[in-house]
Structure 1
């Protein structure tokens, strides 16, 4: 039985009986596989003045974590901040077996209180080796509180001489607290400002809105005539990047969002917040100079931010300045970038792709920016519903376990309302369904339109393409003919004009197709941090009440149901946790 089928069989045990669980004390004898300590410290980034920055083990990005597929790991996360909550999300990895370890405070987990720690249970299944990252899911912290997470293969289908991580972030003039307060303020809504610089592996210089920043660049050390696997990680808050490497026009994409693909050549990459691409690069056999610039530029924003890193063939310089004149001319946004072109490498991913006649339901989510009446506050709506830091008041899964006012979402109400239960604000789905989710961009109250990298927790989906205007299922099926889409977890909802469109006018779509197999409560949201804070998030409840809440009975999860519950440790007590993956293994 494959790992996937074993997982599914365990999750569905709740249908026929109650799983018995016990809690385990993680005392001084327990040794976690990795430890992340989160602090807020004054730090200088790029050319910006020193400000408070949320760091992981004292750095941003945080340390690289390497896990092996098919193993269970415990990662201890300390919230060493005295005045901020914290979670950690394992972006792209399904946490279906350990639902309280997904790190999404709106959906599944109370945040870690100040000066407490939480032990996250992470178990990458066989078949999901690839490039991921971890980041906080509270407020604006993920702009800096993040780091690479690599799931290693049992057998690597693309051997190379060496691997390099290209971790892309952006920075802003104001600190996290000021930005968050401005975006959620009901009376004095304030935009965060545009990105002040694009960073690669924590360093970066270039230009922002025409202002030159002479900060040292990150170097990626290579040798002539070798093949490197470059793991590009889009950990930006806002920036949608176009990038290319001077003198190296052949980039061979071999994975997207943790899914291996058949090789596909491209001369550039587009990378939105939350996206990852693995690229094979063969270096020059006879380089004519020691350093070649990697150039990154923001797209789809009112101002241009241009950053750089360096592919370094020579001795490592102590300081490399950005060029005054850009060495490359990067293309404008391609709204067809890799769509209908990438093909899964895995036969199981090809054979598992649901055909159109297997689709049981289509859910169209209309994305719209709204100006609250009588206020200056802008919010984002999805089917006229907005999930903000105040809504819900507690994690949705916690509310369902506690049965304290938020009822289990009704499929009947959802079917009558295009997919959303308009009483609970959640999107229910049934195990066994094959659902198409169509993200439909629409004109804002002001007439503008934006782009959005949409990310799904819980399970990867088959990305079936994008286009202008309104989604046409028959026309898109014709474009899909002869192709097999790749499983993704973050894809771009483009706009097709930079001008004004009519209020509510359909202005572009992105479509997914997925089998509903993972019972749980999962976030599906735009990965731009500003948009998340403004409400561009949805909550999906997959499975019925028995399937979702019957995995582990309530007495054993009581510690997860209260803010500061005994699943959190601190200086005075050790945490009491459930070993969800051990419980699953015992029921095979």
Structure 2
């Protein structure tokens, strides 16, 4: 009978092997993220009554906090971030600001451009892999409506532990700046989309790491307070500034600490540049070296507390907010060296200048060579004319197109399904016509998208135009706009007042070394010009290398709600889909199987593992071909 046992055992082994071969996971098959899967980070987004700045506001929160938790991600490793939409009546996405090139397909977080939004009571697993050289300062935020004003948090890509840091410091501090509005997210959006138009109002305070003393009537004294940032005497620090504002362009400085050395902008190291203050737009990030006072210097002042002061620029509001920079008392300083954290100073401790137009333009240089494309490498220029148009509704337009991701008003454009999804479905109505776009300021007149070919070097110029107003009450009005690019970082080649002219731009650029960044400012330079008069420009250069569907938009949230967004399609269908992508059907429908909920685990493609396997197969095929050729030659 032993032979029968052996046959039976062998048969069972064969059956088991066949079954395993048929059920073993491969990267081309979606994986079920059930209880056996553990994401790297978990973010839960909810709405609830929240005490902040002395008021109680129905607020969109991440993990019940404002801002959301500080995330630290490594270079080179795949990370999974699970995002729960615990809201009951609102969609959600999460965008990894400045890291779009690190996101897998469908993970950039742009609703109706790269993915369907996460439905209420569902969750989505975002896949990211930070390329080498992306260590720096970023943040993450919702990309739906006005949720971003509070649903955001710091994100730091850490330098590898074995890397020699270009700027070694004793400590690292984050200064995360956002704004407090009295109206809820839904009320703000409803007003901006109403006829007659109802403005959101200016911010009632700047939240520094989540705290402020606002101008609103105090109903919750416990939340009306200043953030305290502690440091030690005599040490060097890296302060990471994150501009998470919804509306305002801000100036920030430290009381009696006038020396900041900028060393990083938007995730890229720069050569040191000294400045007494920073101006920061929504979406921008800076790192600056900060030398703490010594014990002798502190004894001379008799102070351990110094104010950090934040003010708006190019806004009608004059609200000023503060935080406290506090030295740990390791010097034995007596008396009362502290300031109150429940009251603002009776007079401004810092006299900040008015708006510095073109702040740091042409002054910053990359720390490492960055392959900047010269003018003779530019293949074409795309002009984007940005203008406010007021009729029954108030819209912001780019080349006369006002784009929103949902619920378009008359004269606005919105797709019925995400562009990337449509490309996977082979929906030809969403394929932009490259030739037609060339004859139309770079925008395809049918799809309202901006196509570009892989390998192109394009120059994008944002030219602001005085507002068009049917009743002339604000005809010719201008504003200051932080323009943000998803996908690859751009080379910022400066800006100026008046009308863009390539000769002027090239003359201003001469002798400089532009940095790469993802957000830069289109200044207004003056409040008002003639109706339809061009005034103020900002220019970028971009190497078109990352295939995909990418947003380029003003990062002022109110302006986004009002349509100041553009969609760019880099590469053709084969470039974007890479022709052999695995089964992505779960990504192609709203509430598709890629979304999990209380009863259903998501079915998720591991894109980076699949790409690694594809690369390995291609290398193996290339090696086999080389060996065959060598044998033939022999």
Q: Shared topology, TM-score over 0.5?
A: yes
Contact 2:27–2:609 (CA<8 Å) still a contact in 1? no
Partner of 1:587: 614
With CA pairs under 8 Å and 6+ residues apart, which has the higher RCO, 1 or 2?
Answer: 1
- Following the alignment from structure 1 to structure 2, what is the Cα–Cα distance between the partners of residues 332 and 208? 25
Deviation per CA, 1:216-263: give whole Å up to 9, x if none.
100110111110100000001001101110000000000000010000
Contact 2:46–2:85 (CA<8 Å) still a contact in 1? yes
Partner of 2:173: 164
**2:227 aligned with 1:218, yes or no?**
yes
**CA distance 1:566–1:283, shift in 2 (3 Å):** same
- Following the alignment from structure 1 to structure 2, what is the Cα–Cα distance between the partners of residues 379 and 369? 6
Partner of 2:535: 507
**2:561 aligned with 1:538, yes or no?**
no
**CA distance 1:65–1:317, shift in 2 (3 Å):** farther
Match among 321, 329, 353 for residue 307 of structure 1? 321
Cα drift, residue 69 of structure 1? 1.0
Cα drift, residue 502 of structure 1? 1.2
- Following the alignment from structure 1 to structure 2, what is the Cα–Cα distance between the partners of residues 325 and 151? 38
- Mapping of 1:362-401 within 5 angstroms? 362-372=381-391, 375=392, 377-388=393-404, 389-390=406-407, 391-401=414-424
Contact 1:86–1:113 (CA<8 Å) still a contact in 2? yes
Cα drift, residue 320 of structure 1? 4.2
- Following the alignment from structure 2 to structure 1, what is the Cα–Cα distance between the partners of residues 72 and 102? 20
Partner of 2:632: none
**2:308 aligned with 1:294, yes or no?**
yes
**CA distance 1:45–1:551, shift in 2 (3 Å):** farther
Contact 2:103–2:127 (CA<8 Å) still a contact in 1? no
Matched residue SS, 1:586: helix
- Following the alignment from structure 2 to structure 1, what is the Cα–Cα distance between the partners of residues 80 and 242? 23
Contact 2:27–2:613 (CA<8 Å) still a contact in 1? no
Match among 581, 595, 617 for residue 568 of structure 1? 595
Equivalences, count: 557
Contact 1:96–1:519 (CA<8 Å) still a contact in 2? no
Partner of 1:231: 240
**CA distance 1:93–1:496, shift in 2 (3 Å):** same
Comparing 243-252 and 555-564, the one that deviates more? 555-564
Partner of 2:353: 331
Partner of 1:192: 200
Cα drift, residue 313 of structure 1? 1.0
Matched residue SS, 1:312: strand
Cα drift, residue 51 of structure 1? 1.8
- Following the alignment from structure 1 to structure 2, what is the Cα–Cα distance between the partners of residues 51 and 97? 33
- Following the alignment from structure 1 to structure 2, what is the Cα–Cα distance between the partners of residues 318 and 30? 47
- Following the alignment from structure 2 to structure 1, what is the Cα–Cα distance between the partners of residues 429 and 154? 36
Contact 1:97–1:580 (CA<8 Å) still a contact in 2? no
Partner of 2:259: 250
**2:131 aligned with 1:109, yes or no?**
no
Match among 557, 576, 591 for residue 548 of structure 1? 576
Structure 2: unaligned runs, 5 residues or longer: 1-25, 330-337, 408-413, 469-474, 616-634
CA RMSD of aligned residues (A): 1.8
Matched residue SS, 1:99: coil
- Following the alignment from structure 1 to structure 2, what is the Cα–Cα distance between the partners of residues 206 and 469? 37
- Following the alignment from structure 2 to structure 1, what is the Cα–Cα distance between the partners of residues 52 and 429? 43
- Following the alignment from structure 1 to structure 2, what is the Cα–Cα distance between the partners of residues 99 and 361? 27
Structure 1: unaligned runs, 5 residues or longer: 1-18
Partner of 1:16: none
Q: TM-score w.r.t. structure 2 length? A: 0.85
Deviation per CA, 1:159-184: give whole Å up to 9, x if none.
10000000000011101010011112
Partner of 2:625: none
Matched residue SS, 1:406: helix
**CA distance 1:278–1:551, shift in 2 (3 Å):** farther
Partner of 2:137: 131
Cα drift, residue 494 of structure 1? 0.3
Partner of 2:155: 149
**CA distance 1:284–1:198, shift in 2 (3 Å):** same
Contact 2:419–2:430 (CA<8 Å) still a contact in 1? no
Partner of 2:17: none
Contact 1:255–1:277 (CA<8 Å) still a contact in 2? yes
Q: TM-score w.r.t. structure 1 length? A: 0.92
Comparing 152-161 and 64-73, the one that deviates more? 152-161
Deviation per CA, 1:527-577: give whole Å up to 9, x if none.
010000000000000001211133554x71111111110000011111011
- Following the alignment from structure 2 to structure 1, what is the Cα–Cα distance between the partners of residues 149 and 231? 28
Deviation per CA, 1:329-374: give whole Å up to 9, x if none.
1111111211101000113x1xx110110000100100000113xx
